[in-house]
Amino acid sequence: MKLDQLPDDVHLTYCTNIHAGESWRDIRASLDEHVPAIKSSVAPNQPMGIGLRLSGEAAAAAREPEALASFRDQLTKLGAYVFTINAFPFGPFHGVRVKEHVYLPDWRDRERVAFTANSAAVLAAILPDGVDGSISTVPGAFKPNGRSSEAIAAMADNLMMAVADLVDVERRTGKRIALALEPEPCCFLETTDESIAFFKDTLFKPDTLDRLAAVTGVSRQQAEMLLRRHLGICYDVCHGAVEYEDIVAALDRLIAAGIPIPKIQLSAAMRVPAMKKDLVAAVMRYNDGVYLHQSIVRRDENLVRHVDLPDAVAAFDEGHADGEWRIHCHVPVFLEDLGEISSTRGDLVTTLAALRQKARSSHLEVETYTWDVLPDKLRTGSKSADIAREIAFCRQELVG
């Protein structure tokens, strides 16, 4: 919902990637199932914002005129509006092994450009007047796939095509939409340093800007303005915490570098202050076999990255991973601890306090997509009730 209490034009929502469903029909059905109960709890007297997750299949179907007209009617009946889309996972995101496949097709592939264009077409058609839109997406590629100069060049080219499409969308519809790369552990973009470097050393380079200028019919200087208008970073607080970043400082560094933050995802990760043998079983309860749980161990001042949780446990068993652990597993933001282990909720609370003073982004999205695979003790009520509780917790921290 719109948070009028904050100094900037800020919208708060949750991401519907928590709900299973890949087809457009199933995604719409999930909204009818869950949104009324959530809205009655957190936004009974005002329109409720929705962070809509679209699969590749759903985005292609939803952009058809008849589908859009029907969806607008559905949103009206729900008393809801969509201002942001999660176009990160292209394929199935629940009930099957996702792991590193979640990044495919990545930004080396033209199919990612088409998926993004379909998502933008949907968002432009339903975005309320006077509200900017955002689309979060993969951070380039899974790191092993994004290291070569050829891969980086391909990602830059495809991102320019996506930006050109968003420029065209705004020219035709008047709707401003920004694409937001979402840094994540063990990906091409995983830290704020890497994000700033990619924009500075690749995207803001003259030859990259000239390609965008040629497609959009503007000068190089105007192309840079368009790039900054339509491409930025989606900062996920969970991901930043796993990387041991100072979240508020990271956000401010992006802004100082002239990189927009179209969306901030409000989330918390697992944290083990000091890994011990008797905590291994508790940690491995989160090894669901569905999602990739990148784990970063801090030993003294050094960070050691493990692509998945079992890799970190194996290293610990060999005596190479003692110290503090932070694990990429989105856990409920309203819980102070997870029983035997803790979370990075403190980082989120600090971030929300800073956002209360200065928004840094107009789109705030609670993103705990793991409810279906979390241990039962962390699910305190129905899924809709827990989602509402998360939104309410973040709103309270934001507005006091």
For 15-67, what is each residue's pLDDT tens digit?
998 888 899 999 999 999 999 999 999 999 999 999 999 999 999 999 999 99
379, 371 contact by CB (below 8 A) = yes
Question: What is the β-pairing status of strands 231-236 and 2-3?
Answer: unpaired
* pLDDT attached to residue 83: 97
Q: Confidence class of residue 8 from pLDDT cuts 50, 70 and 90? A: low
Q: Which of 219-223, 299-303, 322-326 has the lowest mean pLDDT?
A: 299-303
Closest by CA to 230, choosing from 181, 264, 189, is: 181
pLDDT band at 7 (very low <50, low <70, confident <90, very high): low
Q: What is the mean pLDDT of residues 239-257?
A: 98
Q: Which domains are seen in the chain, by residue range? A: 2-268+343-399 (3.20.20.150)
Per-residue confidence (pLDDT) for residue 338, from 0 to 100: 82
Q: What is the pLDDT of residues 331-364, one digit of tens each?
A: 999 888 788 899 999 999 999 999 999 999 999 9
Mean pLDDT of 295-300: 94
Q: What is the mean pLDDT of residues 266-294?
A: 93
Q: Which residue has the higher pLDDT, 301 or 109?
A: 109
Average pLDDT for 273-285: 94
**Mean pLDDT score of the chain:** 94
pLDDT score, position 274: 95
The predicted structure's pLDDT at residue 199: 98
Output 156 or 91, whichever has higher pLDDT: 156
Percentage of the chain beyond pLDDT 90 is 84
Q: Which of 24-38, 54-68, 190-204, 386-400 has the lowest mean pLDDT?
A: 386-400
Indicate whether 280 pLDDT > 70: yes
Q: What percent of the chain has pLDDT over 70?
A: 97
CB 204 within 8 A of CB 163: no
Query: What is the amino acid identity at position 200?
Result: K
Long-range contacts of 332-335 (CB under 8 A, 24+ apart): 332/268, 332/368, 332/374, 332/378, 332/380, 332/386, 332/389, 332/390, 333/266, 333/267, 333/268, 333/366, 333/368, 333/390, 333/393, 333/394, 334/389, 334/390, 334/393, 335/378
State both tokens at 105.
Answer: 């097709």
The pLDDT of residue 94: 66
Mean pLDDT of the 262-281 span: 96
Which candidate, 293, 271, 187, places its Cα nearest to that of 233?
187
Using one digit for the tens of pLDDT, what is the confidence trace for 170-182?
999 999 999 999 9
State the pLDDT at residue 291. Answer: 87
Closest residue by Cα to residue 278 from 345, 342, 320, 341: 341
**E strand intervals along 176-236:** 177-181, 231-236
More confident residue, 295 or 400: 295
Between CA 101 and CA 88 the distance in angstroms is: 11
Query: Can you tell me the mean pLDDT for 155-181?
Result: 98
pLDDT value, residue 9: 83
Neighbours of 353 (CB within 10 A): 13
- The pLDDT score that the predictor gives to residue 354 is 96
Residue 373 burial (CB count, 10 A): 15
* Rounded CA separation 140/135 (Å): 14
For residue 1, what pLDDT is reported? 67
pLDDT for position 77: 98
User: Residue 363: CB partners within 8 Å, gap ≥ 6?
Assistant: 10, 11, 13, 83, 84, 134, 262, 263, 264
- Band (pLDDT 50/70/90 cuts) for residue 288 is confident
For the segment 225-235, the average pLDDT, to the nearest whole number, is 98
